[in-house]
């Protein structure tokens, strides 16, 4: 093999500038196309937020003694039983959405974050909260359990008589 044949073989194995730039451009377009496909897929796929049901069973009325306030942590609701009947009060403070706490020694519902205080029926007593805690609809199911509907607010005077 002569020197000119060896030089020709070396030149042929090298990639030209044009081929290199074509390969880089094709790679960049491929990556951009793949990114566009991912974004399109995420846009077209459902973006659902799965929240707990707004209607829930609170159990048998016999579970709640008369003149008691019971906190349901999963649903963030107080089930209150008085001589007149049952009512459900939201445990979410109307000020900034903090979860309130029942204080049995003071017979009050208190917001630990900003100091709002409410009576056991949800009536605002003091603090920065702009309004009282809402009452939710509470009914009795055919099999005798309490059913609370957090989508339906009712007047504070309405109580379920059992």
pLDDT by residue for the chain (162 residues), tens only, comes to 555 555 555 556 788 999 999 999 999 999 999 999 999 999 998 887 777 778 888 888 888 888 888 888 888 888 888 888 888 888 888 888 888 888 888 888 888 888 888 887 878 888 888 888 888 888 888 888 888 888 888 877 766 766
The alpha-helical segments, DSSP class H, found in the chain are 3-13, 17-44
Single pTM value for the model: 0.65
Determine the Cα–Cα distance for residues 48 and 103; give it in Å rounded to an integer.
37
């Amino acid at each position: 093999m002569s020197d000119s044949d060896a030089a020709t073989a070396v030149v042929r194995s090298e990639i030209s500038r044009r081929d290199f730039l074509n390969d880089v451009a094709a790679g960049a377009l491929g990556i951009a196309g793949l990114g566009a496909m991912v974004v399109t897929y995420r846009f077209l796929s459902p973006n659902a937020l799965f929240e707990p049901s707004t209607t829930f069973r609170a159990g048998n009325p016999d579970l709640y003694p008369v003149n008691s306030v019971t906190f349901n942590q999963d649903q963030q609701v107080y089930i209150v039983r008085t001589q007149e009947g049952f009512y459900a009060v939201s445990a979410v403070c109307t000020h900034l959405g903090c979860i309130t706490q029942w204080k049995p020694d003071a017979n009050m519902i208190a917001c630990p974050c900003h100091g709002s205080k409410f009576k056991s029926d949800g009536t605002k007593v003091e603090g920065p909260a702009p309004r009282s805690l809402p009452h939710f609809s509470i009914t009795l199911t055919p099999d005798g359990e309490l059913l609370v509907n957090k989508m339906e607010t009712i007047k504070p005077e309405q109580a379920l008589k059992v």
